Amino acid sequence: MKLECKHVWQHISEYIDHTVDAKLREEIELHLEHCEICSAILDATRNILVLTADDRTFELPVGYSERLHKRLAEELKKIEKDSRKE
Amino acid sequence: METRGTTEAELIARILAGEADLFHELIRPYERMVYMTVFSVVKNEAEAEDGAQEAMISSYRHLASFRGDAKFSTWLLTIAINEGRKRLRKAKSAAEESLDEPTEGQEGDFTPALLTDWREIPLEALERKELREVLRAAVAELPDIYRQVFTLRDLEELNVEETAQALGIQPGAVKVRLHRARIMLQKRLVPFLKTTAPPRNRWFGRAL
């Protein structure tokens, strides 16, 4: 059975995640070989995921780690003090 | 305090046995993950940072209840999500908004945007700062349930099972929400990707 574009789109996420079964994977790959539109969609989606996983896209606030550990140190001390009182 | 080569389980045991300072080492690999996770719920930098700190402190206080049947990271993220949701509830009840969590219905168009020329996406375009900004904005605009799944799966690279556990939803819902989130983002970014590309004169053998 020949896959339609719409069918490929429905599975594009699972295809990227390698969670489609072998038979469907083969059908999708066959379709992609001939379909520029679906290849383009796959490419764009993959690129977005590459960009998302890039640490420069979603950055931590400057000084976040330092503030976190400073706060932790204070809290750990407080908790220790409290437990000694008990 | 030698910790090189120490496993996470050993670290946790030593912390519980009284070496409290080792907690700093335990959470170091998860600082980014916890922040991004809280941010995906509260969508505000200052709230996310406060929330991340609170989540870490809370995980220290409750460390003895960590059973080791889940991964420590998943357990920690559950705490982070709950912290984020608590903050959101507070903010929302202040604004007298409904707390009902929407679920994924069938509404909305989840077909991707079509590109006629995939070669119009040059790799250099991915290096552009503007594109990162557009992506950040697009993720922020995703409906909450999609943004949270997308953050855990594609930003923090958790697997489906871990994401389901952390969010307290079924693995099937993780897959559906992730698919929709990705399609929505693809749609949002495609026009931008296209405009960043240099014009091409020929394609499919025809002159344009």
Which of A52, A34, A55 is closest to B184 using CA atoms? A52
User: Which pLDDT band holds residue A81 (cuts at 50, 70, 90)?
Assistant: confident
Give the number of other CB atoms < 10 A from CB of residue B205.
5
CB-count exposure of residue B34 (10 Å: 0-12, 13-18, 19+): buried
Interface check for A53 against chain B (CB to CB < 8 A): the answer is yes
Question: Which residues from chain A sit within 8 angstroms of residue B136, using beta carbons?
Answer: 57-58
Distance from CA of B9 to the nearest CA of A (A): 20
Tell me whether residues A68 and B60 touch, CB distance under 8 A: no
Low-confidence ranges of chain B (pLDDT < 50): 99, 118, 195-208
- Picking from A14, A40, A60, the nearest residue to B118 by CB comes out as A40
Give pLDDT, residue B199: 40
Give pLDDT, residue B104: 63
At a CB cut-off of 8 Å and minimum separation 6, what does B14 contact? B6, B22
Give pLDDT, residue B202: 37
Give pLDDT, residue B105: 63
Give pLDDT, residue A83: 79
Is residue B108 helix, strand or coil?
Answer: coil
B164 vs B158: CA distance, rounded Å: 10
Which of B39, B56, B52 is closest to B147 using CA atoms? B39
CB-count exposure of residue B151 (10 Å: 0-12, 13-18, 19+): buried
- Picking from B112, B160, B175, the nearest residue to A9 by CB comes out as B112
Global confidence as pTM: 0.81
B186 vs B179: CA distance, rounded Å: 11
pLDDT digits (tens, 9 = 90+) for B29-77: 999 999 999 999 999 999 999 999 999 999 999 999 998 778 899 999 9
**Mean pLDDT confidence for A61-80:** 94
Interface check for A46 against chain B (CB to CB < 8 A): the answer is no
A2 vs A35, more confident = A35
